[in-house]
Amino acid sequence: IPQGIDLRAEIDRLRKKRNAVILGHYYQTPEIQDLSDFVGDSLELSRKAAETDADVIAFCGVRFMAETAKILSPEKIVVLPDMDAGCSLEDSCPPAQFKAFREAHPDHIALSYINCSAEVKALSDIIVTSSSAEKILAQIPADQKIIFGPDKHLGGYLKRKLGRDMLLWPGVCIVHEAFSETELLKLKAQHPDAPIAAHPECPPYIIDHADYVGSTSGILDFAKTMPGDTLIVATEPHIIHQMQKAVPHKNFIGAPGADGNCNCNICPYMALNTMEKLYLALRDLQPRIEMDETLRLQAKKSLDRMLDMAS
Protein backbone atom coordinates (compact mmCIF):
# COMPACT_ATOMS: atom_id res chain seq x y z
CA ILE A 1 0.00 0.00 0.00
CA PRO A 2 1.54 3.37 -1.01
CA GLN A 3 2.66 5.43 2.01
CA GLY A 4 0.36 8.20 3.18
CA ILE A 5 -2.63 7.45 0.93
CA ASP A 6 -6.07 8.47 2.03
CA LEU A 7 -7.68 5.03 2.28
CA ARG A 8 -11.24 6.34 2.48
CA ALA A 9 -10.78 8.50 -0.64
CA GLU A 10 -9.06 5.65 -2.52
CA ILE A 11 -11.83 3.21 -1.62
CA ASP A 12 -14.38 5.74 -2.91
CA ARG A 13 -12.42 6.24 -6.13
CA LEU A 14 -12.07 2.48 -6.72
CA ARG A 15 -15.71 1.75 -5.91
CA LYS A 16 -16.73 4.15 -8.72
CA LYS A 17 -14.09 2.89 -11.12
CA ARG A 18 -15.09 -0.75 -10.53
CA ASN A 19 -18.84 -0.06 -10.37
CA ALA A 20 -18.69 -1.86 -7.03
CA VAL A 21 -21.17 -2.03 -4.19
CA ILE A 22 -19.78 -2.40 -0.67
CA LEU A 23 -22.01 -4.53 1.57
CA GLY A 24 -21.22 -4.41 5.29
CA HIS A 25 -22.42 -6.44 8.27
CA TYR A 26 -23.18 -4.78 11.61
CA TYR A 27 -20.22 -6.61 13.19
CA GLN A 28 -17.68 -4.72 11.06
CA THR A 29 -15.67 -1.80 12.47
CA PRO A 30 -17.40 1.62 12.54
CA GLU A 31 -15.21 2.96 9.72
CA ILE A 32 -16.15 0.03 7.45
CA GLN A 33 -19.83 0.33 8.36
CA ASP A 34 -19.73 4.05 7.59
CA LEU A 35 -18.30 3.64 4.10
CA SER A 36 -20.52 0.67 3.17
CA ASP A 37 -23.24 1.35 0.60
CA PHE A 38 -25.51 -0.83 2.66
CA VAL A 39 -25.26 -2.22 6.21
CA GLY A 40 -27.61 -4.98 7.31
CA ASP A 41 -28.30 -8.37 8.82
CA SER A 42 -27.65 -11.63 6.96
CA LEU A 43 -31.07 -11.73 5.26
CA GLU A 44 -30.95 -8.09 4.15
CA LEU A 45 -27.41 -8.47 2.83
CA SER A 46 -28.45 -11.61 0.87
CA ARG A 47 -31.34 -9.70 -0.66
CA LYS A 48 -29.08 -6.78 -1.61
CA ALA A 49 -26.57 -9.17 -3.17
CA ALA A 50 -29.33 -10.80 -5.23
CA GLU A 51 -30.69 -7.44 -6.43
CA THR A 52 -27.64 -5.30 -7.12
CA ASP A 53 -26.73 -4.17 -10.63
CA ALA A 54 -23.13 -3.43 -9.65
CA ASP A 55 -20.34 -5.33 -11.42
CA VAL A 56 -18.44 -6.05 -8.21
CA ILE A 57 -19.67 -6.89 -4.71
CA ALA A 58 -17.09 -6.12 -2.01
CA PHE A 59 -18.41 -8.09 0.94
CA CYS A 60 -17.37 -6.78 4.34
CA GLY A 61 -18.54 -9.69 6.42
CA VAL A 62 -17.48 -13.32 6.65
CA ARG A 63 -16.90 -15.95 3.96
CA PHE A 64 -20.29 -17.68 4.12
CA MET A 65 -21.92 -14.28 3.47
CA ALA A 66 -19.70 -13.56 0.45
CA GLU A 67 -20.35 -17.10 -0.82
CA THR A 68 -24.09 -16.48 -0.49
CA ALA A 69 -23.67 -13.32 -2.59
CA LYS A 70 -21.84 -15.34 -5.26
CA ILE A 71 -24.48 -18.10 -5.24
CA LEU A 72 -27.24 -15.52 -5.76
CA SER A 73 -25.31 -13.25 -8.19
CA PRO A 74 -22.93 -15.55 -10.11
CA GLU A 75 -22.21 -13.06 -12.89
CA LYS A 76 -20.75 -10.59 -10.40
CA ILE A 77 -17.20 -10.50 -9.14
CA VAL A 78 -17.45 -11.03 -5.35
CA VAL A 79 -14.43 -10.06 -3.26
CA LEU A 80 -13.91 -10.64 0.47
CA PRO A 81 -11.15 -8.49 2.00
CA ASP A 82 -9.74 -11.47 3.95
CA MET A 83 -10.48 -15.02 2.76
CA ASP A 84 -9.70 -16.33 6.28
CA ALA A 85 -12.80 -14.56 7.63
CA GLY A 86 -14.65 -17.77 8.49
CA CYS A 87 -17.17 -18.60 11.20
CA SER A 88 -17.09 -21.07 14.11
CA LEU A 89 -20.54 -22.31 13.13
CA GLU A 90 -19.36 -23.15 9.63
CA ASP A 91 -16.26 -24.87 11.07
CA SER A 92 -18.43 -26.98 13.39
CA CYS A 93 -20.27 -28.55 10.48
CA PRO A 94 -18.00 -30.40 8.01
CA PRO A 95 -20.05 -31.34 4.91
CA ALA A 96 -19.14 -35.08 5.03
CA GLN A 97 -20.34 -35.39 8.64
CA PHE A 98 -23.45 -33.39 7.90
CA LYS A 99 -24.20 -35.64 4.92
CA ALA A 100 -23.86 -38.72 7.15
CA PHE A 101 -26.17 -37.12 9.75
CA ARG A 102 -28.77 -36.47 7.06
CA GLU A 103 -28.48 -40.00 5.73
CA ALA A 104 -29.01 -41.38 9.23
CA HIS A 105 -32.35 -39.52 9.33
CA PRO A 106 -33.89 -39.99 5.89
CA ASP A 107 -37.40 -38.98 7.01
CA HIS A 108 -36.20 -35.53 8.16
CA ILE A 109 -35.78 -32.38 6.08
CA ALA A 110 -32.70 -30.24 6.74
CA LEU A 111 -33.31 -26.66 7.78
CA SER A 112 -29.93 -24.92 7.96
CA TYR A 113 -28.81 -21.62 9.39
CA ILE A 114 -27.16 -19.47 6.72
CA ASN A 115 -23.93 -19.57 8.80
CA CYS A 116 -22.63 -22.68 7.01
CA SER A 117 -20.57 -23.60 3.96
CA ALA A 118 -21.90 -23.71 0.39
CA GLU A 119 -21.52 -27.51 0.59
CA VAL A 120 -23.81 -27.69 3.62
CA LYS A 121 -26.29 -25.35 1.89
CA ALA A 122 -26.25 -27.76 -1.05
CA LEU A 123 -27.07 -30.63 1.35
CA SER A 124 -29.95 -28.67 2.92
CA ASP A 125 -33.60 -28.20 1.93
CA ILE A 126 -34.20 -24.71 3.27
CA ILE A 127 -31.86 -22.00 4.62
CA VAL A 128 -32.92 -19.62 7.38
CA THR A 129 -31.41 -16.54 8.99
CA SER A 130 -32.12 -15.42 12.54
CA SER A 131 -34.64 -12.87 11.21
CA SER A 132 -36.49 -15.32 8.95
CA ALA A 133 -36.35 -18.61 10.90
CA GLU A 134 -39.64 -18.27 12.79
CA LYS A 135 -41.60 -17.23 9.70
CA ILE A 136 -40.14 -20.10 7.67
CA LEU A 137 -40.66 -22.72 10.38
CA ALA A 138 -44.31 -21.69 10.70
CA GLN A 139 -44.81 -22.69 7.04
CA ILE A 140 -43.50 -26.24 7.52
CA PRO A 141 -46.27 -28.80 8.29
CA ALA A 142 -46.34 -29.77 11.97
CA ASP A 143 -45.80 -33.48 11.25
CA GLN A 144 -42.68 -32.88 9.13
CA LYS A 145 -39.54 -34.04 10.99
CA ILE A 146 -36.68 -31.55 10.91
CA ILE A 147 -32.90 -31.53 11.32
CA PHE A 148 -31.64 -28.08 12.32
CA GLY A 149 -27.99 -27.07 12.08
CA PRO A 150 -25.40 -25.89 12.67
CA ASP A 151 -26.34 -23.58 15.59
CA LYS A 152 -27.73 -25.53 18.56
CA HIS A 153 -28.57 -22.33 20.43
CA LEU A 154 -30.66 -20.82 17.63
CA GLY A 155 -32.22 -24.26 17.12
CA GLY A 156 -32.92 -24.62 20.85
CA TYR A 157 -34.43 -21.15 21.01
CA LEU A 158 -36.76 -21.96 18.08
CA LYS A 159 -37.73 -25.28 19.68
CA ARG A 160 -38.63 -23.58 22.96
CA LYS A 161 -40.39 -20.60 21.41
CA LEU A 162 -42.42 -22.47 18.79
CA GLY A 163 -42.84 -25.75 20.69
CA ARG A 164 -41.40 -27.58 17.70
CA ASP A 165 -39.24 -30.65 18.06
CA MET A 166 -36.10 -30.65 15.90
CA LEU A 167 -32.91 -32.70 15.84
CA LEU A 168 -30.08 -30.25 16.52
CA TRP A 169 -26.52 -30.19 15.16
CA PRO A 170 -24.17 -29.34 18.06
CA GLY A 171 -22.51 -26.17 16.68
CA VAL A 172 -22.05 -22.85 18.50
CA CYS A 173 -20.97 -19.29 17.74
CA ILE A 174 -17.85 -18.71 19.86
CA VAL A 175 -18.73 -15.02 20.18
CA HIS A 176 -22.20 -15.45 21.67
CA GLU A 177 -21.04 -18.46 23.69
CA ALA A 178 -18.61 -16.16 25.53
CA PHE A 179 -21.23 -14.12 27.41
CA SER A 180 -21.27 -14.73 31.15
CA GLU A 181 -24.55 -15.07 33.00
CA THR A 182 -22.91 -14.08 36.32
CA GLU A 183 -21.43 -10.90 34.83
CA LEU A 184 -24.68 -10.11 33.01
CA LEU A 185 -26.62 -10.30 36.27
CA LYS A 186 -24.05 -8.04 37.97
CA LEU A 187 -24.46 -5.51 35.14
CA LYS A 188 -28.24 -5.78 35.32
CA ALA A 189 -28.09 -5.10 39.09
CA GLN A 190 -26.27 -1.83 38.30
CA HIS A 191 -28.91 -0.92 35.67
CA PRO A 192 -32.12 -2.54 36.93
CA ASP A 193 -34.36 -0.61 34.52
CA ALA A 194 -32.31 -1.36 31.41
CA PRO A 195 -33.81 -4.03 29.15
CA ILE A 196 -31.56 -6.74 27.73
CA ALA A 197 -31.58 -7.46 23.97
CA ALA A 198 -29.98 -10.73 22.89
CA HIS A 199 -29.17 -12.50 19.64
CA PRO A 200 -30.65 -16.03 19.38
CA GLU A 201 -27.10 -17.40 18.93
CA CYS A 202 -26.72 -16.80 22.71
CA PRO A 203 -26.95 -19.78 25.07
CA PRO A 204 -30.29 -20.27 26.89
CA TYR A 205 -28.90 -18.94 30.20
CA ILE A 206 -28.45 -15.54 28.48
CA ILE A 207 -31.67 -15.68 26.40
CA ASP A 208 -33.67 -16.38 29.60
CA HIS A 209 -32.78 -12.90 30.88
CA ALA A 210 -33.56 -11.11 27.61
CA ASP A 211 -36.46 -8.72 27.11
CA TYR A 212 -36.00 -8.90 23.35
CA VAL A 213 -34.48 -11.67 21.21
CA GLY A 214 -33.80 -11.14 17.51
CA SER A 215 -31.38 -10.70 14.64
CA THR A 216 -28.94 -7.82 14.49
CA SER A 217 -31.49 -5.70 12.57
CA GLY A 218 -34.19 -6.69 15.04
CA ILE A 219 -32.01 -5.66 17.98
CA LEU A 220 -31.25 -2.34 16.26
CA ASP A 221 -34.98 -1.67 15.77
CA PHE A 222 -35.60 -2.53 19.42
CA ALA A 223 -32.90 -0.03 20.44
CA LYS A 224 -34.67 2.69 18.45
CA THR A 225 -38.16 2.00 19.79
CA MET A 226 -37.63 0.74 23.37
CA PRO A 227 -38.80 2.76 26.33
CA GLY A 228 -36.08 4.10 28.64
CA ASP A 229 -32.64 5.32 27.83
CA THR A 230 -30.27 2.41 28.58
CA LEU A 231 -29.99 -0.93 26.81
CA ILE A 232 -27.79 -3.97 27.54
CA VAL A 233 -26.77 -5.49 24.22
CA ALA A 234 -25.97 -9.23 24.14
CA THR A 235 -24.51 -9.56 20.68
CA GLU A 236 -21.27 -8.57 18.94
CA PRO A 237 -20.58 -5.06 20.26
CA HIS A 238 -19.78 -3.37 16.92
CA ILE A 239 -23.54 -3.11 16.34
CA ILE A 240 -23.60 -0.45 19.06
CA HIS A 241 -22.11 1.96 16.49
CA GLN A 242 -25.40 1.96 14.53
CA MET A 243 -27.43 2.35 17.74
CA GLN A 244 -25.41 5.38 18.80
CA LYS A 245 -25.87 6.93 15.35
CA ALA A 246 -29.63 6.30 15.34
CA VAL A 247 -30.38 7.34 18.94
CA PRO A 248 -27.38 9.32 20.22
CA HIS A 249 -29.06 10.35 23.49
CA LYS A 250 -29.45 6.71 24.64
CA ASN A 251 -26.86 4.63 26.45
CA PHE A 252 -25.84 1.22 25.06
CA ILE A 253 -23.81 -1.23 27.11
CA GLY A 254 -22.28 -4.38 25.63
CA ALA A 255 -23.07 -7.49 27.67
CA PRO A 256 -19.94 -8.82 29.41
CA GLY A 257 -17.90 -11.97 29.08
CA ALA A 258 -16.30 -13.76 32.04
CA ASP A 259 -13.69 -10.98 32.41
CA GLY A 260 -16.46 -8.42 32.99
CA ASN A 261 -16.10 -6.48 29.73
CA CYS A 262 -17.45 -6.92 26.23
CA ASN A 263 -14.16 -7.00 24.31
CA CYS A 264 -13.98 -10.81 24.37
CA ASN A 265 -17.21 -10.80 22.37
CA ILE A 266 -15.67 -9.16 19.31
CA CYS A 267 -15.93 -11.62 16.42
CA PRO A 268 -12.33 -12.53 15.51
CA TYR A 269 -13.37 -13.52 11.97
CA MET A 270 -15.21 -10.29 11.22
CA ALA A 271 -12.24 -8.38 12.65
CA LEU A 272 -9.93 -9.75 9.93
CA ASN A 273 -11.43 -7.28 7.44
CA THR A 274 -9.65 -3.93 7.55
CA MET A 275 -9.69 -0.71 5.52
CA GLU A 276 -6.31 -1.67 4.03
CA LYS A 277 -7.57 -5.09 2.91
CA LEU A 278 -10.77 -3.59 1.50
CA TYR A 279 -8.69 -1.10 -0.50
CA LEU A 280 -6.51 -3.93 -1.89
CA ALA A 281 -9.58 -6.06 -2.69
CA LEU A 282 -11.09 -3.25 -4.76
CA ARG A 283 -7.76 -2.47 -6.40
CA ASP A 284 -6.77 -6.06 -7.29
CA LEU A 285 -10.25 -7.69 -7.39
CA GLN A 286 -8.79 -10.36 -5.10
CA PRO A 287 -9.36 -12.40 -2.93
CA ARG A 288 -12.29 -13.47 -5.07
CA ILE A 289 -15.03 -16.02 -4.33
CA GLU A 290 -15.05 -18.75 -6.99
CA MET A 291 -17.45 -21.67 -6.96
CA ASP A 292 -18.08 -24.82 -8.90
CA GLU A 293 -21.28 -24.33 -10.91
CA THR A 294 -22.89 -27.65 -9.88
CA LEU A 295 -22.32 -26.80 -6.22
CA ARG A 296 -23.64 -23.27 -6.75
CA LEU A 297 -26.88 -24.44 -8.37
CA GLN A 298 -27.46 -27.02 -5.65
CA ALA A 299 -26.83 -24.48 -2.86
CA LYS A 300 -29.03 -21.91 -4.62
CA LYS A 301 -32.11 -24.14 -4.31
CA SER A 302 -32.16 -23.95 -0.50
CA LEU A 303 -31.33 -20.22 -0.53
CA ASP A 304 -34.08 -19.47 -3.06
CA ARG A 305 -36.54 -21.30 -0.81
CA MET A 306 -35.49 -19.02 2.05
CA LEU A 307 -35.93 -15.88 -0.05
CA ASP A 308 -39.39 -17.07 -1.17
CA MET A 309 -40.60 -18.17 2.24
CA ALA A 310 -39.21 -15.11 4.06
CA SER A 311 -40.82 -12.57 1.72
* Helices 293-310, 63-72: inter-axial angle, 10-degree rounding: 90
Q: Which is nearer to ligand SF4, 14 or 236 (CB)?
A: 236
| Binding residue for ligand 13P, selected from 46, 68, 115, 242, defined by CB under 6 A | 115
β-pairing, 108-113 vs 126-128, is parallel
Q: From the list ligand SF4, ligand 13P, none, pick the one residue 42 interacts with, judged by a Cβ distance below 5 to 8 Å according to partner type.
A: ligand 13P
**Residue 269, interface with ligand SF4 (CB under 6 A)?**
yes
| Binding residue for ligand 13P, selected from 112, 124, 130, 242, defined by CB under 6 A | 130
**Residue 240, interface with ligand SF4 (CB under 6 A)?**
no
- Closest to 267 (Cα-Cα) out of 53, 32, 75, 36: 32
Backbone angles phi, psi at 54, to 5 degrees: -70, 160
Q: Are 218 and 235 in contact (CB under 8 A)?
A: no
Q: Say if residue 262 carries a ligand binding annotation.
A: no
Q: From the list ligand SF4, ligand 13P, none, pick the one residue 129 interacts with, judged by a Cβ distance below 5 to 8 Å according to partner type.
A: ligand 13P
Distance CA(78)–CA(66), nearest Å, equals: 7
Q: Are 150 and 120 in contact (CB under 8 A)?
A: yes
| Binding residue for ligand SF4, selected from 126, 173, 184, 223, defined by CB under 6 A | 173
The answer for residues whose C-beta is within 8 angstroms of residue 123's C-beta and 6 or more apart is 95, 98, 99, 102, 110, 112
Q: Which is nearer to ligand SF4, 175 or 213 (CB)?
A: 175
Question: How many residues touch ligand 13P (CB under 6 A)?
Answer: 10
Q: Say if residue 200 carries a ligand binding annotation.
A: yes
**In the complex, what is the shortest distance from the CB of residue 72 to ligand 13P, in angstroms, rounded to a whole number?**
15
**Residue 136, interface with ligand SF4 (CB under 6 A)?**
no
- Closest to 224 (Cα-Cα) out of 197, 203, 254: 197
The answer for residues whose C-beta is within 8 angstroms of residue 201's C-beta and 6 or more apart is 130, 151, 153, 154, 172, 173, 175, 176, 235
Binding-site residues for [4Fe-4S] cluster: 87, 173, 267
Binding-site residues: 25, 42, 87, 113-115, 130, 173, 199-201, 216, 267
Binding-site residues for iminosuccinate: 25, 42, 113-115, 130, 199-201, 216
